[in-house]
Amino acid sequence: MASTLHITGSNAAVPDAATQIEIYRRMSLIAQNDEASRKIIRSGRLMMPYYSGRGQEVIPSAISVNLDDSDQICTIYRGIHDMLAKGVPLRVLWAEIAGRVTGTCKGKGGPMHITHPASGAILTTGIVGSSMPIANGLAWSYKLDKSRRVAIAYFGDGASNIGAFHESLNLASLWKLPVVFVCQNNRFAEHTRYENGTSVDQVSKRAAGYNMPGFTVDGNDPFAMYAAANAAIARARDGEGPTLIEAMTFRFHGHVFGDDDFYMTKQEKAEALAKDPVAGFRGRLIAAGTATEASLTALEAEIAAQIQDAVEFALSSEMPPLEELLRDVYADSGVA
Amino acid sequence: MASTLHITGSNAAVPDAATQIEIYRRMSLIAQNDEASRKIIRSGRLMMPYYSGRGQEVIPSAISVNLDDSDQICTIYRGIHDMLAKGVPLRVLWAEIAGRVTGTCKGKGGPMHITHPASGAILTTGIVGSSMPIANGLAWSYKLDKSRRVAIAYFGDGASNIGAFHESLNLASLWKLPVVFVCQNNRFAEHTRYENGTSVDQVSKRAAGYNMPGFTVDGNDPFAMYAAANAAIARARDGEGPTLIEAMTFRFHGHVFGDDDFYMTKQEKAEALAKDPVAGFRGRLIAAGTATEASLTALEAEIAAQIQDAVEFALSSEMPPLEELLRDVYADSGVA
Amino acid sequence: MTVQTKKLNIIQAINEAIAEAMEADPKVLVLGEDVADREGGGVVGVTRGLSARFGDERVRSTPITEQAIIGAAIGVAINGYKPIAEIMLMNFTTVAMDMIVNHAAKLRFMSGGQTSVPIVIRMMTGAGIASGGQHSDFLEAWFAHTPGLKVVAPSNPEDAKGLMLSCIVDPDPCMFIECSRAYGNSGMVPVDLAPIPLGKAKVVQEGSDVTIISYSEIFVRAQQAAAELAKEGISVELIDLRTISPWDRETVVASVRKTGRAVVAHEAVRAFGVGAEIVATLQDELFGILKGPIKRLGAPYTSVPFSKVLEDAFVVSVADIAAAARATMV
Amino acid sequence: MTVQTKKLNIIQAINEAIAEAMEADPKVLVLGEDVADREGGGVVGVTRGLSARFGDERVRSTPITEQAIIGAAIGVAINGYKPIAEIMLMNFTTVAMDMIVNHAAKLRFMSGGQTSVPIVIRMMTGAGIASGGQHSDFLEAWFAHTPGLKVVAPSNPEDAKGLMLSCIVDPDPCMFIECSRAYGNSGMVPVDLAPIPLGKAKVVQEGSDVTIISYSEIFVRAQQAAAELAKEGISVELIDLRTISPWDRETVVASVRKTGRAVVAHEAVRAFGVGAEIVATLQDELFGILKGPIKRLGAPYTSVPFSKVLEDAFVVSVADIAAAARATMV
Ligand SMILES: Cc1ncc(C[n+]2csc(CCOP(=O)(O)OP(=O)(O)O)c2C)c(N)n1
Ligand SMILES: Cc1ncc(C[n+]2csc(CCOP(=O)(O)OP(=O)(O)O)c2C)c(N)n1
Ligand SMILES: [Mg+2]
Ligand SMILES: [Mg+2]
């Protein structure tokens, strides 16, 4: 593997205290937002396919603190955690999920197709594997622009078995595109265990087939994840090309809302829950003296209020007018 | 790489004298047939897209002597060498290429879509990469049948960059299918040099990403090719799963008939031509005393006569009747 | 002679058909993402219990690898097996179109009849369940436009079972379309149901004023529209097409010859949809007999929207069908 | 005012359009297999000379990787570039349908108008050059059935150039279909040709008896048929559709309203083809005005065969068109 990447030992980047708190803030936002989402779906006030990112908070949080708004992400149906970490504002996100005209996409995209260009959340796809070829194109534009922007393609472990993965990594490596491929390996693709769908024991081993650095990282460890992201993003910005990061994690709430997890062992699930990355990092921040119980509680309360506000905003917003059905098909559709 | 394959040193299988002659016979058949094809296209008596396999004779010849008729190949537009090596009879092959009703496919498939089940040449595809997913299915049938048959998927170096390659190798490895993936690496995909399309310096390195043995072999060396094929085929028959073989070679006559090779350097082409595998193996057989000049000349003359006979058969055969246009769309199409 | 029946929904009906076929012929196989019981027997349970009953070799869950799924189905079928491949949602056929269109559909023809590809490709789809733009499309027109494929879309449990039985034994590739909205619809199905022949439409209700032609779940809406119209004194002849390709031109033409008026309704986008073929054929065969223009209903020229209000407006409704039928009467 | 013209064939016309657009706008890009000069500027030379002139960063040869080609085009377009992606042959869109249909076509709608995908996808196709079943299909009906895509198919050099100029600046994804049989056809093209608007058909010849509607190379055959028919005293109005989606309903309806008779002809398989949509629309809008059934011509329901005798019989001929027009006159 032709890696020019150093993410271990003395070379590993370490987030400073403020950055650690910021990572935690994003994680808490994701976790609390997930709680709110599931509650409101259970209540019957929202009807949508909901793919929870609970348990996977660290990955986009530790990555996104290395990005700014001009950097773009392509994510997938299970991507609300990625969007929140990237800074998609809560109100428009909730309004979109609720199918309201005030949503990011006027209610027309829904949870699987959120786009919010201002925060760099440029595309969400419902087709497994399809975040990657498009992320390449974003990255190509930065290269043409001679900018230092970077694109992140999020995808799951199951997606690493589909053709688009292969084509994308090959092209990105060949063209030295500033893109980071982030596989959120939560060990399951719908109901299929990693090893029943994937012939190799670690997705990262596939990077060698594209002469690309690839490595597996504990996606539930904010420090490890931060260091990996930092290195891969720097590499991309420096024009050295793409990186494949496989971030090991676990999804707490099944594939989609309503999934009863029958395909997991009770034990593996219990073990994962016991290692809740949100609670874990919280404890670590306090133990290290980076934050106090009080400061985090205050942060969490603020987030809770923001979520509450967003839900209310969404549910009190209007539905899109019927003209929206024919608008945006073409640039001039529905324009009188 | 989890290889259980031994193809070097004392473990390498060596073809016996009769097998060596048989490999040469198939190579000479391919080379002479190519000569005849190009001549007849130049003469204007045949109109077809012709993808010459000249220069790549060793690969299918050394592989096919390890197979019998019940073993099947899936090959590609550049596959006439593969079919001849596998034993597709000359008359029906030529008749198909000439679009005659006496052809393998009644003239309806043409050179890019030859099928001749009796000799195991079950499928020829014109879509880059598509030999592989279907070869998996053939191999799956052998496994279900509990037979020891094996499927060969032929494809080019360029095809290793398309999604179907990835999906096929992953599935074959996961299901331990009795299939051998044979990449005929002639260093070009149409006019694109290997390194301008492929991010890794050897296609075989991709095998590790599927936990599959993969290796690069001199595809112009009949002994090396025979040993590699023998090992991979044995592995498949023994239920140990698939292998990726990258066979290094060179195509003598450009991508398609009429191609002027502008994208090659004169030198690399001259070097390749100077190492003509057919002439080379011929000399080697005589030098080693395995054959004599006279015996090979006789063999070649016999082949020449067979080709001559096939061409005459084809060109004197009838065109398909117009009813054939609507027949074979469905099983009952055109059946009164 | 009384026919013994039992109540089944569409999921159960398809499941039964596959189970009976697997029981009868060891060459019948099932493959697809999550189709085995270890993975739940399919996301909505269509293949539930099959791997337990017939073994993991005959019912195989696959990776997310649609090209390889269809490729494996084609290859195994060429060698005499009868695989039923699931593509979870119809929109995901877009990553396997090469295998379906360039290979499954054409191999018999291109081989001059030497090889055949007796596969069934099952897909669910349909708007109305908030799945948004990439999970809801009806794409049957693409497949009907592809010679070599057969295309089937049942509207009720009996047809679902009977058509599936036929698709499995059919020597050619069959695209089997399941509407997710209709999965739970139940009905009485004969216990010894015989295969329902492909290519045969069903005249579900005879009538004299106007023929309504439809299929899949929109046919259910057509039935409701017909009931409404009956109250207004409009006598509807209701045809469930069932097989979209090859479609039952004879039955449809005979009906419209009689009524002189027709409405064709489907869920897919109206423009360049299946309805156009039927209308174009009817105007040719029945010129001078038609009492007015044939009306076509389908989705507007747009993507499937997420927001419920828009999604409801997207799908052809009972009211739309009734209105179109009324419009033919003037 | 005399218009300065020069003789171009279709290859040259498209090449000029792209070159002019690249000259005018540095955001215009070209990508695809073998499109750069190092690889010959395209298998038939459509992009020849462009990389030499505009550099290897703007004109990029790719691996064989159609999903990644269209994906890259989409991504770069979202960020403001205008890529022209070549899919060497139309049948190879089958390995990129997800990118084309689920993404390029839908992103503007699904994002509520926030993102747009101004890409051009160039493809060549067509029977008649012995390429067989997997290299010759006309699949425009699939794309016309996909809201969000525009579909264009010129029949001559002037339209090829003018429509390409429009496609490049169009804010939406355009499928640009090139018929390989017609590439060498040449004609006089104005040196300062303005973009030809999308969605506008061209009445190439006025007539009073029957309207013939066609596009791509079959339109050339329709012109020949019209000349033959003129000798028989049949006055043909000839419409070159040029853009298939959105198609110019107004021009076509107005013409058929006048003539009362119509023939629609295309190379694609007739069943479920583009012709059906046009016929279905006409019978609705012109019921009572039509003097007879509208005739549709297209390929028979089969795959493209290799053998020359069969291939010739597969493609709609001048004689077929003339016969269909005559048939409308009885
Ligand atoms: C091409 C395609 N095939 C199948 C699906 C159905 N599907 C949706 S999510 C999913 C599992 C994906 O697993 P993974 O990539 O591991 O991501 P995760 O859901 O675990 O985050 C599947 C099969 C799809 N959306 N797209
Ligand atoms: C999916 C697809 N894309 C593009 C093509 C056009 N094409 C035909 S052969 C070829 C080059 C293939 O190169 P390689 O795989 O190295 O095989 P070789 O021709 O060298 O034997 C290309 C691009 C095709 N047939 N299928
Ligand atoms: Mg997963
Ligand atoms: Mg090659």
The domain that contains A313 carries what CATH number?
A: 3.40.50.970
Structural domain includes residue B336 = no
Q: Is the pLDDT of residue C159 over 80?
A: yes
Helix (H, G, I), strand (E, B) or coil at C308: helix
Task: Assess whether the previous peptide bond of C246 is cis (omega < 30° from 0).
Answer: yes
B330 belongs to a structural domain: no
How much is the pLDDT for D58?
98
Q: Is A327 on the interface with D (CB under 8 A)?
A: yes
Distance CA B129, CA B215 (A): 19
Question: Measured in angstroms, how far is the CA atom of residue A159 from the centroid of ligand 1?
Answer: 6
User: Is D2 a domain residue?
Assistant: no
Q: Tell me which residues have their CB within 5 A of the ion that is ligand 3.
A: A 156-157, 186, 189
Residue B35 class from Cβ within 10 Å (0-12 exposed, 13-18 middle, 19+ buried)? middle
Same domain? C142 vs C100: yes
The set of chains that have 3 or more CB pairs under 8 A with A is B, C, D
Ligand 2 atom at shortest distance from the alpha carbon of D92: 1
Q: How many domains does chain B have?
A: 1
Tell me, yes or no, whether D179 and D94 share the same domain. yes
Q: Which of residues 108-147 of D touch C (CB under 8 A)?
A: 109-110, 132-134, 139, 141-142, 144-147
| A6 assigned to some structural domain | no
Q: What percentage of residues in chain A have a pLDDT greater than 90?
A: 93
Compute φ and ψ for B220, nearest 5 degrees.
Answer: -105, 0
pLDDT band at A334 (very low <50, low <70, confident <90, very high): confident
A8: pLDDT confidence band, cut at 50, 70 and 90?
Answer: low
- Containing structural domain, residue A171: 12-325
Instruction: Name the band, by pLDDT with cuts 50, 70 and 90, for residue A2.
Output: very low
Active-site residue flag, D66: yes
Distance CA D166, CA C313 (A): 33
* B239-291 per-position pLDDT tens digit: 999 999 999 999 999 999 998 899 999 999 999 999 999 999 999 999 999 99
B175/C contact by beta carbon, under 8 A: yes
Q: Is the dihedral of CA A115, A116, A122, A128 positive or negative?
A: negative
Asked if residue C59 and residue C181 are part of one domain, the reply reads: yes
Residues shown for chain B: 336
A163–D contact, CB cutoff 8 A: yes
Q: Residue D28 falls within a domain, yes or no? A: yes
| Residue B168 covered by a domain | yes
For an interface test with B, which of D309, D315, D317 has the most B Cβ atoms less than 10 Å from its Cβ?
D309
In a domain, C195, yes or no: no
| pLDDT tens for each residue of C223-237 | 999 999 999 999 999
Helix (H) or strand (E) holding B50: none
D262 located within any domain: yes
Residue D312 and residue D215 share a domain? yes
Asked if C173 and C52 sit in the same domain, the reply is yes
Whether A54 is covered by a domain: the verdict is: yes
Is the pTM value of this prediction over 0.90? yes
Q: Give the three-class secondary structure for D144.
A: helix
pLDDT of residue D57 exceeding 70: yes
Residue D107's nearest CA partner among D95, D99, D96, D115 is D115
Instruction: Tell me if chain B has a CB within 8 Å of the CB of C55.
Output: no
- Per-residue pLDDT at B182 exceeds 50: yes
Whether residue A1 is predicted with pLDDT greater than 50 in this model: the reply is no
pLDDT of residue A7 exceeding 70, the answer is no
The answer to whether position C238 is within a domain reads yes
Using CB atoms, pick whichever of B167, B197, B198 lies closest to residue A163: B167
- Do D214 and D275 fall within a single domain? yes
Q: Indicate the number of domains in chain C.
A: 2
| Domain range enclosing C273 | 202-327
Pick the catalytic residue: D16, D103, D135, D311? D135
Residue B118 has pLDDT above 60, yes or no: yes
Q: What is the pLDDT of residues D186-207, one digit of tens each?
A: 999 999 999 999 999 999 999 9
Ligand 2 contact via B158 beta carbon (within 6 Å): yes
| D72, D73, D112 ranked by CB distance to A106: nearest | D112
Q: How far apart are the first and last CA of chain C?
A: 45
pLDDT digits (tens, 9 = 90+) for C81-110: 999 999 999 999 999 999 999 999 999 999
Same domain, C251 and C302: yes
CA distances from D320 to A295, B327, C308, D313 (A): 82, 21, 49, 10
Q: Is D71 within 8 Å of A115 when comparing Cβ atoms?
A: no
- Contact by Cβ (8 Å): C8, C180: no
A25, A204, C174, C273, D84 from C266: Cα distances, Å:
49, 46, 19, 8, 35
Domain boundary among C190, C215, C243: C190
- Same domain (yes/no): C268, C183: no
What ipTM does this complex have?
0.98
- Report CA B112 to chain centroid distance, whole Å: 13
B with C: how many residue pairs have Cβ under 8 Å apart?
A: 144
Digit-coded pLDDT (tens) for A18-55: 999 999 999 999 999 999 999 999 999 998 899 999 99
**Ligand 2, pocket-test mutation among D39, D44, D62, D88, most atoms within 8 A of CB:** D88
Q: Which of D229, D182, D180 minimizes the C-alpha distance to D209? A: D229
Task: Examine the fold and report which residue of C190, C225, C244 is the final residue of a domain before the chain moves on.
Answer: C190
pLDDT in tens, C272-286: 999 999 999 999 999
Of ligand 2's listed atoms, the one at least distance from the Cα of D135 is 25
Q: What is each CA distance from C59 to A108, C21, C116, in whole angstroms?
A: 38, 13, 22
**Predicted confidence (pLDDT) per residue in C18-70, tens digit:** 999 999 999 999 999 999 999 999 999 999 999 999 999 999 999 999 999 99
Report pLDDT for B332: 93
- Pairing mode of beta strands B214-218, B243-248: parallel
Exposure letters D307-321 (e unless 16+ CB within 10 A, then b)? bbbbbebbbbbbebb
Query: In B, which residues are within 8 Å of C58 by CB distance?
Result: 144
Split at pLDDT 50, 70, 90, the class of D1 is low
Mutate to test the pocket of ligand 1, among A190, A255, A263 (most ligand atoms within 8 A of CB): A190
List chains touching D (3+ CB pairs under 8 A).
A, B, C
Answer whether C277 touches A (CB < 8 Å): no
> How many residues are listed for chain A in this entry?
336
pLDDT in the model for residue A335? 62
Distance CA A321, CA A312 (A): 20
Residues D183 and D227 in one domain: no
Q: What percent of chain D has pLDDT above 90?
A: 99
Is residue A252 included in any domain, yes or no?
yes
pLDDT at residue B334, as a whole number: 73
Query: Would residue A330 count as lying in a domain?
Result: no
What's chain B's average pLDDT?
96
The domain boundary residue, chosen from D190, D214, D233:
D190
| For residues A248-259, average pLDDT | 95
- pLDDT > 90 fraction of chain B, expressed in percent and rounded: 93
Q: Does residue C267 surpass a pLDDT of 90?
A: yes
Average pLDDT rounded to a whole number, residues A150-168: 98
Mean pLDDT of D219-242: 98
Residues D186 and D206 in one domain: no
User: Is B32 a domain residue?
Assistant: yes
Do D279 and D223 lie in a common domain? yes
CB-count burial class (<10 Å; 0-12, 13-18, 19+) for A314:
buried
pLDDT of residue B171: 98
**What value does the mean pLDDT of chain C take?**
98
How far is Cα D274 from Cα C191, in angstroms, rounded to an integer? Answer: 43
If you average pLDDT over residues D211-237, what whole number do you get? 98
| Angle at alpha carbon of residue A127, lines to A125 and A129, rounded to 5° | 95
How many helices (H) and strands (E) chain C has is answered by 12, 14
Residue C324 reports pLDDT greater than 50: yes
**Do residues A25 and A297 touch, judged by C-beta distance below 8 A?**
no
What's residue B2's pLDDT?
39
**CATH for C237:** 3.40.50.920
Q: Give the helix ranges, DSSP H, for chain A.
A: 17-42, 58-64, 80-86, 90-97, 131-145, 163-174, 194-197, 222-237, 266-274, 277-287, 293-315
Higher local confidence (pLDDT), D89 or A259 = D89
- The verdict on residue D196 lying in a domain is no
Q: Is C314 on the interface with A (CB under 8 A)?
A: yes
* 3-state SS, residue C135: coil
Band of residue C257 on the pLDDT scale cut at 50, 70, 90:
very high
Percent of chain C scoring above 70 in pLDDT? 100
**Which residue among B100, B110, B158 places its CB closest to the CB of D63?**
B158
Same domain, D256 and D231: yes
Q: How far is CA C89 from the centre of its chain?
A: 13
B233 within 8 A of B213, measured Cβ to Cβ? no
